[in-house]
Structure formats: C-alpha cells, structure tokens
Structure 1
Amino acid sequence: MSEKIRDLLAISDLCASDAMAIIQRAQDMAAFWRERRMVQSLAGRRIVLVVNDSGWRNTTAFDLGIQAMGGICIHAPLRWDTREDLPDLAAYLDNWFDGIVTRAPDLAVMRSLAHSARAPVINARTRQNHPCETLGDLAFQLHRHGRIEGIKVGVVAPKSNILGSWIEAAAVLPINVVQVHPDKWLDRDAAASTPRFRASADMYELADADLVVTDCWAADAEPEALLDYQVTSTVLDRLHPEADFVPCPPVSRGKEVSADAMTHRACRVIEAKAFLLHAQNAVLEWAFDVS
C-alpha cells in the first residue's frame, strides 16, 4: 500500500505554514460541501477508522468525508491495548490500507503507531489532545471573521485534551490562548514553556476574548468548586459584540455551561462544528499531499 506521506498527531508537530494551509483549505472544503461538488482527492484510497468509544462527531465526519472525497472507509474493531504488539498491528493494517484514522488512549501510543506504520496516521483524539477539533474551530474563526492572527482564545477547562490542542495551536500559530479555571486545574507547566499561552483563575480574562471554548468539568471536582467558572449568559454579555462562544460537545448544561448560554447570541457551536468536517477533509488531503 502507500508509503507514508505525513502524520497528523499534534498541532504542535506542524509548522505554522502547514497549520494555516489546512485551516485555509477548510474554507474551500466548506464551499465544495455547500455546492455538492466535493473534490475526489481520495479516489482509490483505502482508509481504516479505528475507534472504540462512544464519541461520534469527528469519527462520523471522517467516515463521511473520506467517502465524499472518493475514498473507501472501513471500521476495524481492534484495540491498541490487546495482546498483539502494536508494530504487528500496524504491519497488518499496512497490508490493506493507505491511511489510518484512529483514537488512542495516549499520545505516546499514537506516536508509536505512526513510527511503526507506513501509512499516514491521523489522530482523531487522545487523552492529551484533540487536534482536529481545534483545527475545526480555527477554520470556523477564519470563515466568520477572515483572520485568526492575533485573536485571543479563552479556554474554560481543566487540563484536558481540548486544552491540550489549544496549547499546541498557541505554540505554532499567531494566536493567544488563556486557560481560565481554579488554580488546582491550571496547566502552569505549559504556561511556563509555551509561547502565547498562559493560565489564569480570573473569569474576567474572557471579557476581551475573541473566542471562548469550554470542556467538561474535571471528574475529580466537586460542582460547588467550579460553579463560579460556569459560562452563563451573564458571562457572555461581557464579551465584545463580535466574540464567539463555542462550547465543546458533549455539553453538560447546568455544569460547565448554563442552559441560557446555549441560546445566547454569541453561541455559535452548531455553525462552528460544521467546520469539523471541512477541517478534517483538509487534513486528509494534507496527509496524502493531494489537492
């Protein structure tokens, strides 16, 4: 099958020009999708989707996007934590497939898979990061406002895969990212080592943000400890008029997001998540170096 072109494991593995090329190509993909004239960039490509959890948005979008661009997508019911060694599993997949789209428990597992496989490997989520989710939100930001340079992104979340990929993005793109959460859950290490990323316990950091995103509350947190960090309509009223609120699904109303925040004029999660498909289609093209 195909020799490796490029893996997408973390946004911070990319150079700024490649990250921007994916975000910009997502604009074309959105237009192709609306006009029902998808490019057949993956014609003849056979791609395996390896997912063993209940998440459905980005994996469904991968399946749909691969097929819409002329490829073949097969779901393989395998796990990376079986008695079979990962290099053996990678070799078996290489017999049949040109590309691997997968979720894995840890980024280290994803990197080991990419090291062993000839086929490009695309990260559909780990516990440490979720690169396509962030690329999709950035593609929406570019679509809606025409730029991402210099924007401020407020991430109301504990250490998590969503925060992880926003930190990755801040490391390579000209954006400023601030994590907002109680001290216990702030990623101080990343703030000390990553350009354009910092951490704060002050919810008023969101007032001048251009984009506000959330993730689920930490499993080890008592709800009372985090209630002051719930994004409500009152919080959103403090944003500037052109700011967007894009909570990361699944949204837990009454926890990280209030019910009234989901109907606020700033909430654009439905429109934003449409760009998950378009960004992932751009990633697929990039991985195979076709367009």
Structure 2
Amino acid sequence: MATRHFLTLLDLTPDELDYLIQRAIKIKTDLKAQGPVYTPLPNRTLAMIFEKSSTRTRVSFETGMAQFGGHALFLSPRDTQLGRGEPIEDTARVLSEMVDAVMIRTFSHAGLETYASASSVPVINALSDDYHPCQLLADVMTWTELRGSVKGRTAVWIGDGNNMCHSWINAARQFDFNLRICCPKGYEPREDILAAAGDRVTLLHDPQAAVQDVDLITTDVWASMGQEEEQAKREADFAGFQVSEAMLDKAKSDVLFLHCLPAHRGEEISHTLLDDPRAVVWQEAGNRLHAQKALIEFLLLGRINEK
C-alpha cells in the first residue's frame, strides 16, 4: 500500500473517514470490555515531534501506541537536529529509515507538508497553525456515539476562524453536515477554505441567531498559542460571543456542546458551562485516544476486515 499521510481531513475519502469513526467506536468498546488485549503493532514505533506544547495530544498518542503493543518516542526541537537547523526534508528521510510513522505538532502547515513530501512513512498532523484534523476525528466520533449519523445535521462554530474552524469546515464537507460559522468581523476563516465548502457552510456574525435550532455547538479559546499578546484586544472583539447555558437553550433540546480544550472559563464559555450535561467535553477528550488509534491502525495496516 502506498504511503498515506493525514495532514487534513481531505487526505482521506468520506468513506474512509466514516470507516475510521466506526472503527474507533469499536476499538473503544472492546477496550472498555476487555482491556488492552488487542496489540496489532508490536515493536512498531511512532515518532512524536512537538514544536507546540500539549497535554491531550501527547498522552493520547503515547497511550495509544502502548495499548497497541508499540512504542512512542517523544522529540522536541531541543532534542533533535531540527532545533539546530537541519533541513526538514533531511530529518524526514532519516526518521523514515528508523520509525514506522511520525506525528507532528507544529506551527507552519507548509513546513508539515514539506516534511511529508520527503517522508516514506505516514505523517500525521497533530496540529498546525492551519488545521487540527485529529481533533475533528474525536469530535465527530463523540457526536456519532451520542446522536447517530451526523449526515444532514447542523453544527455551529462560535469564535475565531482558526485552525479548528478550518477543520470543522473540512469536516462538514467530508461528513456531509451543515456548518454555521459565527465570528466577529475580521476573524473570519481563510477565504479559500470557506469557498471550497460551497453552500455546506454559512458565515454569520450574530451568535444568538446562529445557534437557533442547531444540533451541536462548539467553540475554542479566543487567543490560541502564540496569540497571547492579543488577549486584551480579542476579549474586547469577542464580547457577546461567550457560549453559555442560555445560548444552548436556543438550540435543539438534545443539543451537544464540544470544546477541544483547554477551556478558559469565563471567557469563551461561561464559568459553569462544562458542568452542564449537554457539554460532553470529557468524553470528547477521551475519544482522542480511540480515534487516533483507529487512524494509526489504518495508516499502517489498512482497513481491518472484521467477521
């Protein structure tokens, strides 16, 4: 099988993504019932390159490889020649000779693409400045577990048109649901990503109108990593965009709330929103483990034909 990378949701077909969601649910169900007895990747190694800090990403990938019988190797710029100026392509070629797959959490998406172009083993985007596709696998998995097929349903993204927003746009295309994006003027997502989604995505600027009768509401912090100096300005610009229990009340009665975490209580969400039963962020966070296990299995072994 030719080397497959997972840099955005568009790298897999809708059918393959649907398979991954169902496979992740099966992996999770079996793990809860039997423990980590399914070990299809003995002696396989995943290199994890972190240029941005992480809790959920590192723990989920490292635990997933351990449960699969493999090994995860943590690499930071301080630990590698990347931090000393080695060309990205050279690092990619070297690691391809030593490990079975590479996970990268970085800033530049173009740099990630450069790395993947030189890699002969699968490369997984664990977050770049433009996309966060692994989070969307967990998000759609959570939505599917709790509400069934997401096809034809409606989600609303409230907040910055950032990397998470871009991946939600791609998810609407690939999983065939409708997405409303509600952001302050000046914080819209990239025009080319938005345009590619066609009428699947609608852009709005009024949060109270955007949440009417939707199936799911999601958001993210107002200032992402690297934007801390913009915090005060962003707090002012995003006034009125805080997601609260009252906002959820305007949606459908069975609405779900997602957040990729970490959350800033009292900023993009009300202080008590995560305590609301409609907020399923802890299940969502845990599903990073299972969705990424399904992804790694697919990239290394292909589809698993279950009897």
2:4 to 6, 19, 22: 6
Corresponding residue of 1:202: 206
1:27 to 25, 28, 38: 25
Is the alpha carbon distance of 1:42 and 1:144 closer, same or farther for their aligned partners in structure 2, counting shifts above 3 Å?
Answer: same
Letter matched to residue 193 of structure 1 = A
What secondary structure sits across from 2:91 in the alignment?
helix
Distance in 2 separating the partners of 1:108 and 1:175:
28
1:104-150 per-residue CA deviation (whole Å, 9 max, x = no partner) reads 21211111111101111011110111001011010011111121111
* Aligned-residue offset at 1:26: 0.8
Distance in 2 separating the partners of 1:230 and 1:289:
43
Q: 1:252-263 alignment to 2 at 5 Å?
A: 252-263=264-275
Aligned-residue identity in percent? 25
Q: 1:272-283 alignment to 2 at 5 Å?
A: 272-283=284-295
Structure 1: any 5+ residue segments left out of the alignment?
none
TM-score by length of 2: 0.89
2:263 to 251, 263, 266: 251
* Aligned-residue offset at 1:4: 5.5
Corresponding residue of 1:187: 189
* Aligned-residue offset at 1:188: 6.6
1:169-189 per-residue CA deviation (whole Å, 9 max, x = no partner) reads 122221111111112112272
* Aligned-residue offset at 1:31: 0.6
* Aligned-residue offset at 1:8: 0.6
Count of matched residue positions in the alignment of Structure 1 and Structure 2: 289
Question: What is the alpha-carbon root mean square deviation over aligned residues?
Answer: 1.7
* Aligned-residue offset at 1:32: 2.0
Letter matched to residue 44 of structure 1 = N
Letter matched to residue 176 of structure 2 = P
* Aligned-residue offset at 1:92: 1.5
TM-score by length of 1: 0.93
**Contact 2:265/2:271, CA 8 A, preserved across alignment:** yes
Is the alpha carbon distance of 1:38 and 1:150 closer, same or farther for their aligned partners in structure 2, counting shifts above 3 Å?
Answer: farther
**Contact 1:230/1:258, CA 8 A, preserved across alignment:** yes
Q: Does 1:152 align with 2:157?
A: no
Per chain length, whose mean CA-contact separation is higher, i.e. which structure has more relative contact order (CA < 8 Å, sep 6+)?
1
Q: Does 1:51 align with 2:50?
A: yes
Letter matched to residue 168 of structure 1 = N
1:30-85 per-residue CA deviation (whole Å, 9 max, x = no partner) reads 11221214421222311111113321102210000011011111112336464111
**Contact 1:136/1:276, CA 8 A, preserved across alignment:** yes
**Contact 1:156/1:229, CA 8 A, preserved across alignment:** yes
Letter matched to residue 248 of structure 1 = C
Corresponding residue of 1:236: 248
What secondary structure sits across from 2:5 in the alignment?
coil
Q: 1:62-101 alignment to 2 at 5 Å?
A: 62-78=61-77, 80=82, 82-101=84-103
What secondary structure sits across from 1:125 in the alignment?
coil
Moved more, 196-205 or 62-71: 196-205
* Aligned-residue offset at 1:18: 1.0
* Aligned-residue offset at 1:262: 1.9
Is the alpha carbon distance of 1:117 and 1:235 closer, same or farther for their aligned partners in structure 2, counting shifts above 3 Å?
Answer: same
Distance in 1 separating the partners of 2:37 and 2:167:
28
**Contact 1:29/1:38, CA 8 A, preserved across alignment:** no
Distance in 2 separating the partners of 1:127 and 1:191:
16
Distance in 2 separating the partners of 1:206 and 1:191:
19
Letter matched to residue 212 of structure 1 = I
Distance in 1 separating the partners of 2:188 and 2:244:
21
What secondary structure sits across from 2:160 in the alignment?
coil
Structure 2: any 5+ residue segments left out of the alignment?
none
Q: Does 1:217 align with 2:222?
A: yes
